Structure 1
Amino acid sequence: MAFHLLYLLCFIVLVLLPCSTMAQTSKNISLGSSLTEQNDDNSSWPSPSGEFAFGFRQIEKDGFLLAIWFDKIPEKTIVWSANRDSLVPQGSKVELTSGGRFVLNDAKGSQIWSANSSSTAISYAAMLDTGNFVLANRNSTYLWESFDHPTDTMLPTQSLKQSGKLFARLTVTNYSTGRFMFSLNPNGSLMLYTTNFPQDSANFAYWSVKNTEIGFQVIFNQSGLIYLTSKNGTILDTISGKPLATQDFYQRATLDYDGVLRHYVYPKSSSTSGERWPMAWSTSFFIPPNISLSIVKKVGSGACGFNSLYRIDNTCECPTGYSPIDPNDELKGCKQDFVPQSCNAPADDFDFQEVPNTNFPGLDYEQFQGMAEDQCRQNCLDDCFCAVAISNAAGECYMKGLPFVNGSIDSSIYGTKALVKFRKHNSTSKKKDDSTLIIVGSVLLSSLGILNFILPLITYVVVSRMYSRKAVAVPPNYQGMNLKYFTYEELKEATNEFKEELGRGASATVFRGVLACDEGKCVAVKILDAKQVRESDLEFNAEVRAIGRTNHRNLVQLLGFCNEGQHRILVYEFMSNGTLASFLFGDTRPNWYQRREIALGTARGLLYLHEECSNQIVHCDIKPQNILLNDSFTARISDFGLAKLLRLDQTRTITGIRGTKGYVAPEWFKNLPITAKVDVYSFGILLLEIICCRKKFDEEAEDGDQIILADWAYDCYKHKKLHLLLEKNDEAIEDIKMMEKYVMIAMWCIQENPSLRPTMKKTIQMLEGTVEVSKPPDPSAYRSSILLDPAH
């Protein structure tokens, strides 16, 4: 009998144990529960799976958000917040009261926020695995949920109903309400707006769904698709692109601070469903395609602030003579750093910054037809009200005053040039300085006793400053380029005496460094070889002058330099993901989407060098080793050590052979004029390597026809066997039409005759699909002879 009772007891325990476990994992938050921000790991409530958490996140030194975030990824990306416009200090508390109210109080007990639920029937709260935080009654009916009150982000299974809105954050690090809004209006229209910042009312619609039917809700489904439906459930428009399963990817749709709505994905494992996405947020889809061209209103500050220029790579910049109002917030625009032109004085002190492919639409106070650029420039120079002139290929000239609005730089604005007026000598208040000197002089002359006391002190200060300036004097040739001048000792300390080598070339070695003067920022320090001091000196001068005046998302940024004694050193931003070569040819192959983005980014960087710099730059050594990848795997062109700087009136130059075997264009070996088309050729070879994830030349190839990648690629294209290029690359095979187009573009780029090669502008248009790609001729004859000839 005792045995049977014991058996029955064990059976009951085994049956009840799973029930107990289930109760524990439901993670319901009972009445009376609270969280107090104590800057520790206990100030959050996780979802059952642990993928999301609700609690406090530190944003500033003593400023916290009550937020929801992805909790299993290192970034802890925030997707919702309760108090975005009113951060709370440490010691603040969120509580589900015994009366069913859900409130956030600061450390003094003052209410900052509460869930807008007047129901007294709330029994519990819960952080769900969908990322939705809910307040529910005893029947588990949701009486309030965060999904109904989004901030800047939507998650899978979430919907946005009529009158629903997303508001972008203000900046990358400032989560307060920003200048852009995504709204499903009461009339059913789905739009992106600029707002009447700092108010949150709609100002100007810069994107909308092209559908005449009334939209009822926007749905972000579990397959990762985002679409607009009617009241009866009919899909009116699909907003996002290719579906990706939520069981394999974390996903979010965020209206970013720059006004672009992006669909982001993040793999839950390193090899998700056979697709090799990086373990980071990647953009799967975004709207609008080009925000700088979408915002064409004649009022407001546009994609960037007033007096600023917006680039397609989502960066803002100030023109010459202007600087950011707030260095920490580029969207606040730029301020003028010089005394404006006087209407009663000659214009000799003023000049123009020429910015190709640029426009400031609207706000013209005068227009001219049939006017050449030189005359347009002169008219603006002679007009004291003119701050910028726009000249285009149609002979139109537009005069504009301050502030500039909606400035944008984009290759599609071809033939339009902005002429931004600035003072040659950046005097901000000369008259004020002169008057100050007169006053000071009068005071000193009337007080000889004070003067006798001050003179020795002034002499000491002046001599000390002269000495310190002499010690780190910036050479005149490099002034005015926004570069920091480093001493050799500073860089020696930053690199821990040049211990960690990142790479080595024929004339330079690169080390990793950390700048103590810039909050521990990682940098790449490139030391030119002292044994080649003459050649290194030439390369140094070329790099500093060329790179110091460039600024583009797809170029590695030069931060500073050292020119001290025999030391010639360049300091670049550090690229954490190394070279494209290691990414393409390593053990883990990048996915097809990444490779396409890298190809397009490299092409955009080259277009900038060729057509958007004040002086055209031909790189001369485009190859995977010279394409670096940042944290988000954005392509950055590096190593201008072989670049040849061309003058504006010089489109051809004869020079010595430069570059790397296999990427070098035929004209180098034929003593023909060298133009930007040599970079187009190199890009074509690089594009094939990106497509196929293999090197241009493989001596170990099983089939002799496969040794030279370009020849093999053309044969595969000609015989309609492109799938042979894509071994173990299923995702690219699924997109075979796009892959074929990329191969055709590469074939055009590597034509032996430079005149047959497209410009980088046209190459980008073909890559983006705005220009049709015609059938290319066979480009193989020259290349085979060069690659197989050991003399080269």
Structure 2
Amino acid sequence: MASIPVLPLLLLFLLPVYANAQQNQSNLILLGSSLSPNANRTSWLSPSGLFAFGFYPQDDGFAIGIWLVNQTEKTIIWTANRDDPPVSSNATLNFTIDGKLLLRTEQGRELSIIDVNQDDGPATSAAMLDSGNFVLYKNHSNVIFWDSFDFPTDTIIGGQNISSGNNLVSSVSISDHSRGSYSLNMQIDGNLVAYPVNSSVDSKDAYWSSDTYNGGYYGQLTLTRLGVLFLPGRFGGRILANGSYPDKNGTTIYRATLDADGIFRLYLHHFKSDNSSSMLTKWSALQNQCEVNGFCGLNSYCSGMGSKADCNCYPGFDFINTSNKFLGCYHNFSEDDCRRSKDPAMLYNVTSLENIVLRSNFPYSVKPMTKENCGQFCLEDCNCGAVSYTDSNCRKYKLPLTYGRINVNESAATFFKLKRIHSTQIPELFIGSKRSLILILSVSLGTVSCLCLVLATSSFFVYRQKLVRYRKLSENVNLGLAEEFTLRLFSYNELESATDGFKEEIGRGSYGVVYKGITSSGGKTIAVKRLEKAVEEGEREFQAEITVIARTHHKNLVRVLGFCIEGSRKLLVYEYINNGSLADLIFKAERPPNWKERIRIALDVARGLLYLHEEGEVCIIHCNIKPQNILMDDNWMAKISDFGFAKLLIPNQSRATTDAEGRSAYLAPEWEKNSMNISVKTDIYSFGVVLLEIVCCRRSIELNVSTADEIVLTDWVYNCVAAGELQRLVVVEDENVDFRKLERTVKVGLWCVQEDPALRPSIKNVILMLEGKIDIPVPPSPVLCIAVS
């Protein structure tokens, strides 16, 4: 650490003297003054004329700020209300007689430009100082009680500092000075650190640091009027840059700016006596643009050196917008194919990139293996987006991939999935004559014709045999079930008539399509589900499952009224629920239910699951808990539907099915690993995802979010709990949120979505925890509990 010379320290003590001295030179702005883009006066100048405060052009309108005047293009150093849209040329800035700076827009709205403590009394005058500081005075005593130096945007000027807890936020671009993508934070520990905006402000997100720790000394970054940028500390300090300029002919002004590209730089502006000016870059925190985290968007990586950086998609990804590569990339194939496949490794192959660094992503699995096996390690896992091989270990990463860049000094090899192109290769036929070719074609066509004839004959006899068996089974079922069940036995024609030929579709799920109907006797509205994926050779199994469903009655389960089995036609008749699904209520409604109603709905679902798991005659594992399968009755009570069907699907289909409503987001990890491990804890995982969706009123996977940390709901909720930021989880419109109950609810959800089924609570304990009857320990991260070997 460099020691601090005496001169810069002395200058620090002289800064207040210099600032106070300027007030005698400044042109006072009196009460009642005003500015407007259309008026003769658009700004207030400092005494030297080098700085101005007022309206400057931005986009198609005007913004209010401070800038350097004698420049070919304005250099903006401060902006008021920087995230507000530009105003029209008819706007007016008034320094009112009651001491307020108010912006009046063309629409007549009045907005305060400066937020001051009214207890200090009104301002009596204002001034634009030669230091670049805009100040308000009170009580006609030239006592400053507000100044722009205390509220920097992306820039500090010589004589200005930023203290612990404050930060600089970059602008979007040179022409747009609203908040951009990067933040420079002066931390309490004395370390000056740069992060992407909306990141977790964790060490993994930081891309530049001053590496200064002051041992409890109050942190502060100072830029002197002589161009020394340094951090004072208890044991000296550290000079970051010394921009001293030897040419004394004219005026020099220094500014340090966190530029739109995320790099912190020190500039010198030299104003000569002949009114010419120049600008020099005296220091830059980073020399390589690719070192800035977030310079390239999700699923892309940065390449190049210095300022010549470019963004590239990883193999298997395409740009979201080819005209703006900084927005990132997306997968150019669907992951649903992977989850539906019995052998996912057959769908893809891998390609590798060398020297790729994934700076932010943490691997969710690490195993020692050879480099040749590392790519295959990812092919067999549908959750895997990429694998990196370093130090004889293979590391798996989920999507999206963040902060990727090329580093020639990094020896890692990173593997990415590519969609396999299936092609039938026809071997070359080396034919000596046309006669040989005709002979080969004749034999081939004859063989194919014989095979087709054999298949057609065998299919005819098999069909006749099955038709006879179906008729016998249907007769037995119709007789047996009618005596045993309390359900009504419908004929297919009766249900076809009730639904007007299956005309009005009201739902579609993993097991079939649901239609609205009206019974001919009594005119009762019903819902008819026509099963499309039932096993053709499992009529007795189907009868057994219908027996179980018929005996299952609970207020939080959709009631089954009847059924139809005629050969291969299998239909179920339900009570009609006319208030739609939970998905409609929390994802699509203009105003979702309030906090208390959402907690009540969550308990309704939990009590329905408790009956299925523990209170019925037999234990029923639902295997498809999601908001689309939770219906709301006339009293807005939640009722679970589609229970008891898991055993009716074609073998292995239940594991591979991912319907249009996104069932895969609710599947427990063990579902894809081994169907023999399916248990009630599989439903607990799905319930945990639904519970967190009910709390946050958003889907478990949401791409339209402000930061990558929020895409996966379970990860975002855990990070908010760990950071003590529960208020981010509930919508602003929520009133009377009990934050103790909110914390308890999200902890229950996080326990439910643990990777290890043994860590998930039973549904009975879930209800007791939600009701506050038993204590809830702090849950571990759902990702961290994956075994790393």
TM-score bracket, normalised by the shorter chain, equals: 0.3 to 0.5
Larger relative contact order (CA 8 Å, sep ≥ 6): 2
TM-score of the superposed pair, with normalisation by structure 2? 0.43
